[in-house]
Amino acid sequence: MPPVRKSDAGDRLREIVAFVLDVDVEDVRTDASFHQELKVDSLEKVEIAARIEQTFGIALGDDETAAVDSVRDALELLAAKSCQSSEGSAGTEASAGTEASAGAASPAPAFTPASAPEGVALVDRLLGTHIAAGHGGRTAYTDPDAGTVSYARLHEAAQGYARALAGRGVPAGSRGLIVAEDSVATVVAVLGLWWHGCVPVPVSPMLGDDDIRFVAADCGAAVVHLDTAPTQQDLLRAAFARLPVLTGDQVREDLAGTPVPGPPVPVAHRPAGAESLIQYTSGSTGRPKGVRHSAAGIHAMLDGYGAVLGLRPDDIVLSTARMSFGYGFGSSVLCTLAAGASAVVLRGAVDPLSVSAALRRHRPTVLCSVPRLYAGLLDAAGRTDAAAPSSVRLCLTAGEHCPAALSRRIEAAFGARVMNCLGATEVMHVAVATPADRPLHGLAGLPVPGVTVTVRDDLGRPVPDGTDGRLHIAGPTVSLGYVDRPDADAVTFGAGGAYTGDIVRRNPDGSIAYLCRADDILNLGGYKVVPREIEDVVRSIDGVTDCVVVGAPDPDGLQRSVAFTVTAEGTDRDTVRRAIRACVRTRLAPYKRPSRFEFVDVLPATATGKLAAYRLRERMGQS
């Protein structure tokens, strides 16, 4: 490519980003993070990359696109490509035959992890047993910032974190809020809190500062761990000035340096039934609810679902679900470490491009994702005729229902077994999954060991096979309840278990067929989203008189949200559209944003004056 002046290129790049996001150029700083500050979603990232290619006459690989998280990153990439082009025109030739089989790797020696004895602490089960068996040198995590971290080094870092908590005067048994992107530092924080006898409360930085402050107050956090964008981290540090604050940067510095010897810190042992983990879920009100788990419930999940999952010590796990999300926490932390396996950490935006690059670079054997992202991966591969990595032996889908056709596409593309999973935060993790010996495309699967599944009517009575009803889960993985939400407890927990909010049907062979949600909550990529929350944001825009958000299947059969908006007479809809996009970008997490906006003159109503939502779905081509 011909050289371009940096100032000119920067202006053009900012114009591209502003155009795609429908914002003013002045709002696009050169160093603003696409993912964390500008809230760029995966489709917008793809469009930005395409326009950069068209404008500057270059081709961007998936790895290069995934690495660009700001205009500054794009400028550096353009400069590097300009140098490469100059070297090529000077006649420099790459030597043939220097290609090494970089993708090939020697299989790791197999071993059987030591069984966790009765009453073992979580830290000992996840780390100590492997080290005691002589496997501390195995890789636990591959992190883009911290590099490769072994089980022994992870063990040392967790102990150091526990020592730091004690030094800050954090009392054992208290709750520790973790506001962090996925990283090995986040795992160290979780393990260090357990080591000290505390209760980790992981939440996503994408939750929003108001909700993060709400969670901190709701759970009564006694300590905070921060690892997010600098601007947000500074704001949160100020908000939590009265609490001890530890950071991911501190953990990474410790991991990079020589371990500092110190007095051994004994692992705290708490009663198996005591609260050991709190995971927040959006629930049915839009306000996050804290779900309280016991160590006994975590051990039961690992014994039951872990046996069905069948991770091996030589497995490399890649999860696109975040650690702040129950599916991601179970996949990247609990199940991986319990098996003595290795996990790859994804930082920044998770989209088909970044995941494709990670698949090629790390060659995982187990991929954990949501159906929506699998569909995006397959569509992207179809456009480029790229084959799925042959290293993957198992594809997990969870978070939302995976239609049978998509499940078969995944199986064919990866040449790997597909395990469909159904669970809920309230029951720790996965409670229903398709078994290894029976492909059940389109079905949720069978109950995992230790779990009792029944289908019940509105009065809580079990119904016969073949009858639609509410999914009820019983067993040791059911949580202790919500944090200070007795009314919500009464709705969710009962009959010796928990209702997941799903409508299902049990077949004569015992398999479970998922039908729909029991309420109007949208399930978008595994996240529960209340339409009213989106509607309130859109209605706040000048010129908008009403808005209704409905769910409608996309071409892959996955649910997406569509916002139908009514504007005041004489309003310029282009101006309103820009205002809506700008507002939802700043006030809603990426997964809550409507995938499509439609303007209508009037919302359809029934004869009794109620909203006729089915007519809006018909407009989207659905009955």
Question: Taking the domain 6-88, which CATH number applies?
Answer: 1.10.1200.10
Partner residues linked to 516 by β-bridges: 503
pLDDT given for residue 50 in this prediction:
83
What is the Cα–Cα distance from 153 to 148, expressed in whole angstroms?
10
11, β-bridge pairs: none
**Residue keyed to tokens 């953990």:** 251
- CA–CA distance, 184 with 242 (Å, rounded to integer): 26
Largest CA distance in the chain: 79
Distance CA 233, CA 221 (A): 17
Report the DSSP pairing between strands 366-369 and 342-344: unpaired
Q: How many CB atoms lie within 10 A of CB 459?
A: 5
- pTM score: 0.78
Q: Quote the Cα angle for 12-15-21, to 5°.
A: 145
Q: Which helix (H) or strand (E) holds 515?
A: strand 512-517
Q: Is 588 helix (H, G, I), strand (E, B) or coil?
A: coil
Run means of pLDDT, 10 residues per run, the chain, 623 residues: 64 90 89 87 83 85 86 89 62 36 28 45 96 96 96 96 96 97 97 98 91 96 96 95 97 87 87 95 70 96 96 97 94 98 92 91 95 87 68 93 90 94 95 89 94 93 92 96 94 93 92 82 79 87 90 84 92 93 89 90 67 76 52
The per-residue pLDDT for 619 is: 80
Pick 530-619's CATH classification: 3.30.2010.30, 3.30.420.280, 3.30.930.10, 3.30.300.30.
3.30.300.30
Res 436: pLDDT: 79
In this predicted structure, what is the pLDDT of residue 533?
A: 82
> 115-270 belongs to which homologous superfamily?
ANL, N-terminal domain (3.40.50.12780)
Which pLDDT score, from 0 to 100, does residue 54 have?
A: 82
Say how far apart CA 472 and CA 452 lie, in whole Å: 8
> Cβ neighbours of residue 582 under 8 Å, at least 6 residues apart?
22, 23
Q: CB within 8 A of 383, min separation 6: which ones? A: none
Q: What is the token pair recorded at 424? A: 């809920």
Q: What is the rounded distance in angstroms from the CA atom of residue 588 to the CA atom of residue 377?
A: 25
**What is the length of the chain?**
623
Which residues, in sequence order, are bridge partners of residue 141?
Answer: 149, 343
Q: How many CA atoms lie within 13 A of 54 on its CB side?
A: 7
Q: What local confidence, expressed as pLDDT, does residue 159 receive?
A: 96
Quickly list DSSP for 380-401: HHHHHTPPPPTT--EEEE-SS-
Where exactly are the structural domains of the chain? 6-88, 115-270, 530-619
Residue 396: CB partners within 8 Å, gap ≥ 6? 309, 331, 366, 367, 368, 369, 418, 419, 421
Q: Give the pair of three-digit tokens for residue 336.
A: 């991986």
Compute the distance between CA of residue 150 and CA of residue 147 in angstroms, rounded to an integer: 10
Question: At which residue do the structure tokens 């020697």 appear?
Answer: 106
Cα separations (Å) of 285 from 288, 289, 529, 531, 586? 8, 9, 9, 10, 20
Instruction: Tell me if residue 202 falls in helix, strand or coil.
Output: strand
Distances (CA, A) of 477 to 164, 259, 269, 323: 31, 37, 20, 19
Beta bridge partners of 223: 176
Please report, for residues 60, 399, 514, the alpha-carbon distance to residue 507 in angstroms, rounded to integers and kept in the order given. 48, 22, 11
